[in-house]
Amino acid sequence: IIEEGPITVAPPETIKELEQAARRLAKCVQYQGAATVEYLYSMETGEYYFLELNPRLQVEHPVTEWIAEINLPASQVVVGMGIPLYNIPEIRRFYGIEHGGGYHAWKEISAVATKFDLDKAQSVKPKGHCVAVRVTSEDPDDGFKPTSGRVEELNFKSKPNVWAYFSVKSGGAIHEFSDSQFGHVFAFGESRSLAIANMVLGLKEIQIRGEIRTNVDYTVDLLNAAEYRENKIHTGWLDSRIAMRVRAERPPWYLSVVGGAL
């Protein structure tokens, strides 16, 4: 439901270990291209555990792009063309290596770029914080059961710090056999708290009207939960909220009727 970056619950030393372990894994299987290595991390013990390697560009890649200032789809294409990472200006900037800039940066860098060891290079500090939320046609009040039907209205205007895309538009529909996710919202802030605040404001401005139910109100409630804001969540946190039937607060139904009439 929610993705975010950079990592804020582990010390820099552990994050460095995660990066190095991911590189070793990619080298072991001779993998080339964009990929994501996923881990589970225990804040109590400081230990981490390998989950999986996704050999593709993931849907939440704008989170990484926003804080690292690297165009991942473009970099993936460049790597596929056989150009090494140390020749990519954005990658060099990310590791604090001279990278040039402007329209001719690619041509200038490729001619004079010197190879550097990615395993030993220290990346720059991520820029700010980014939070992503998946918008789905699931009903939180019915165990997140998928819903389908016509979408009469869907309105959202992106802002400098909040951006979103949707796979349906006003007058469209969610098919009963399609994936329940039909939108993705990304919010940026100079800090984690600002990114969360921008996301809450962005979600509240999404207007969806039709035969489907969505997780938007429920996600706003998750973002406002003290456990989430204090980074004290765990793998069973959401299940425990569902078990306790914690529901998003909504205004009385008659206010919607009155508002519509006005």
Residues 173 and 98 in one domain: no
> Are 2 and 132 a contacting pair, CB within 8 Å?
yes
Domain that holds residue 232: 129-254
Please report whether residue 95 resides in a domain: yes
Half-sphere exposure of 239 (CA within 13 A, CB side): 3
Catalytic residues: 56
Please report whether residue 21 resides in a domain: yes
> Given 120, 142, 177, which residue is the final one in a domain?
120
CATH number of the CATH domain containing 186 = 3.30.470.20
190: left (phi over 0), alpha (psi -120 to 50) or beta: alpha
> Are 108 and 138 a contacting pair, CB within 8 Å?
no
Reduced to 3 DSSP states, what percent helix, strand and coil does the chain have, rounded to the nearest 5? Answer: 35, 20, 40
> Given 69, 92, 120, which residue is the final one in a domain?
120
Residues 80 and 38 in one domain: yes
Tokens, residue 144: 């997140």
> Given 74, 89, 120, which residue is the final one in a domain?
120
Residues 215 and 137 in one domain: yes
Please report whether residue 233 resides in a domain: yes
pLDDT of residue 175: 93
Residues 147 and 31 in one domain: no
Please, what are the averages of pLDDT over each run of 10 residues along the chain (262 residues)? 94 93 93 91 94 92 94 91 86 80 58 80 92 96 92 93 95 93 97 97 95 95 94 89 68 68 78
E-assigned strands of the chain? 2-5, 36-41, 48-54, 129-136, 138-139, 145-146, 149-155, 162-166, 172-174, 181-189, 207-210
DSSP state of 75: H
Residues 29 and 9 in one domain: yes
Residues 109 and 207 in one domain: no
Q: How many independent structural domains does the chain possess?
A: 2
> Are 126 and 5 a contacting pair, CB within 8 Å?
yes
User: pTM of the prediction?
Assistant: 0.86
